[in-house]
Structure 1
Amino acid sequence: MNKKEPGNKPKKGKKVETGSQVTKEEEEEKEDREEELKKQLQAREKEAAENFDRLLRTQAEFENYKKRMEKERADTIKFCNENLIRDMLPIVDNLEMALKHGENSSPNNSKPLVEGVEMVLNQLMKSLEKFGVTSFSSVGEKFDPNRHEAMMQVESDEHEANSVVSEFQKGYFLKDRLLRPAKVTVTASRVKSTTENGNMANEDKTTTS
């Protein structure tokens, strides 16, 4: 009977860990790296969104700037003669006053002069109208500070308060822009007038007593 040699006897060894097995520390380290990458990705996404929003705002501001510059350029062309036309309005005023004075005068020899002034005035107004100049009436209208300049206040029982009752100087528009406000006389507020009269009466009583 053959004896088993001692070298052939199987030995009990320790269990060997393979490369596929990961320790707990390595797993935690991997999770930490993944979490850090997620945070970095979120930060990059937030930064990209902020940059995109900033780009949209910049584009909107640029478009508004372009529109504003185009409007300013259009207004410059549209109202390039504004100062010149405004300086011509006193000439219109003088011609109108001369025409009114001539019409009120009785001598017949002034008729040719009146007709000449009227012709010049009409030609001048037609020229101004070609540039968009128009006058506006004020008498009988409510006082509007946007196009009226009050020169005087009067009491009136025939008109509502803050109504224009007379006109010192005619107002004009240049297209859709006020070229010159009308200088007018406005009726005083009845409440204000009554209060002033009451105060004056009280002062008289005090003085008398």
Structure 2
Amino acid sequence: MTNNGPPKNPHHNRQIHPHHSQGGAHQAGHDVERMTLDDPATEAASGSPDAASAPPAAAEDAHDAIARLVAENVDLKDRLLRALADAENVRRRAERELNDTRQYAVTRFAGDMVSVADNLERAMSSLPAALRRNAGPFKTFVEGVELTEKELLRSLEAHGVKKLDPTGSRFDPHFHEAMFQVQDPSVPSGTVTTVVQPGYAIGSRSLRPAKVGVAS
């Protein structure tokens, strides 16, 4: 039996897929790969908390560390200056105490020697002037006593003890003791006019105040 219909195409029943489907799948693969590779940048650009906050936090930590170091440096410098000042004060105080010890160590001994000087002066002042002028052995004795008094005063002065004779000077309560007041218009008020008993000073201190009369 003869089939007069149109000839069958051998490829008629073959399923034809659109060509662009393979291209679309390939393009989709590229898009997925590109999206995967660009995820960190995309995440950073989208404002991810981890990526955006990491640099500011590190900068803040560095700033805090520098601030702490500066504060510690200031504190250490202040402590050093205080320690140096304390050491200098201790050195000066020790030096001053040493000088005072050297200068005033003979205070008690000097006080006893001042009494001896007073007795020699009283002995000389009690002698009549005529006997001092007479030649002979008695005059030699008087001169020997005078030399002894001068040598004693020189020895005391060598150890920082000085005799005070404030006649004509301004009354100083630290070194003078007022026994009485006198009317003397020839001198300013408060001037020492009479010395009843000489005083002595040791260094910058009074060993014994001079007993004086002061003009009113």
TM-score normalised by structure 1 residue count:
0.73
CA distance in 1, matches of 2:178, 2:54: 85
Secondary structure (helix, strand or coil) at the match of 2:127 reads: helix
CA distance in 1, matches of 2:49, 2:108: 85
Q: In the alignment, which residue of structure 1 is the partner of 2:86? A: 61
CA distance in 1, matches of 2:109, 2:179: 25
CA RMSD of aligned residues (A): 3.1
The structure 2 residue matched to 1:159, chosen from 184, 187, 190, is 187
Counterpart check, 1:91 vs 2:116: yes
CA distance in 2, matches of 1:39, 1:54: 22
28-37 vs 139-148, which deviates more? 28-37
Structure 1: runs of 5+ lacking an equivalent: 189-209
CA distance in 2, matches of 1:168, 1:149: 10
Q: In the alignment, which residue of structure 2 is the partner of 1:130? A: 158
Structure 2: runs of 5+ lacking an equivalent: 1-10
TM-score normalised by structure 2 residue count:
0.71
Q: In the alignment, which residue of structure 2 is the partner of 1:146? A: 174
1:135 Cα deviation (Å)? 1.8
Q: In the alignment, which residue of structure 1 is the partner of 2:8? A: none
* Alignment deviations for residues 129-150 of structure 1 (CA, whole Å, 9 cap, x no partner): 3323322321111112232222
Q: In the alignment, which residue of structure 2 is the partner of 1:76? A: 101
The total of aligned residue pairs comes to: 188
1:153–1:187 CA contact under 8 A, matched in 2: yes
1:141–1:164 CA contact under 8 A, matched in 2: yes
Q: 1:5 to 1:119 in 2, by over 3 A?
A: closer
The structure 2 residue matched to 1:168, chosen from 196, 199, 204, is 196
* Alignment deviations for residues 17-69 of structure 1 (CA, whole Å, 9 cap, x no partner): 44466344232353134224312321231122111111112112102211221
51-60 vs 126-135, which deviates more? 126-135
Secondary structure (helix, strand or coil) at the match of 2:180 reads: strand
Specify the code of the residue in structure 2 equivalent to 1:180.
Answer: R
CA distance in 1, matches of 2:61, 2:212: 78
Secondary structure (helix, strand or coil) at the match of 1:102 reads: coil
Specify the code of the residue in structure 2 equivalent to 1:127.
Answer: S
Specify the code of the residue in structure 2 equivalent to 1:82.
Answer: T
CA distance in 2, matches of 1:187, 1:126: 31
CA distance in 2, matches of 1:160, 1:76: 39
CA distance in 2, matches of 1:40, 1:181: 68
CA distance in 1, matches of 2:108, 2:65: 63
Q: In the alignment, which residue of structure 2 is the partner of 1:121? A: 149
Between the aligned residues of both structures, percent identity stands at 30
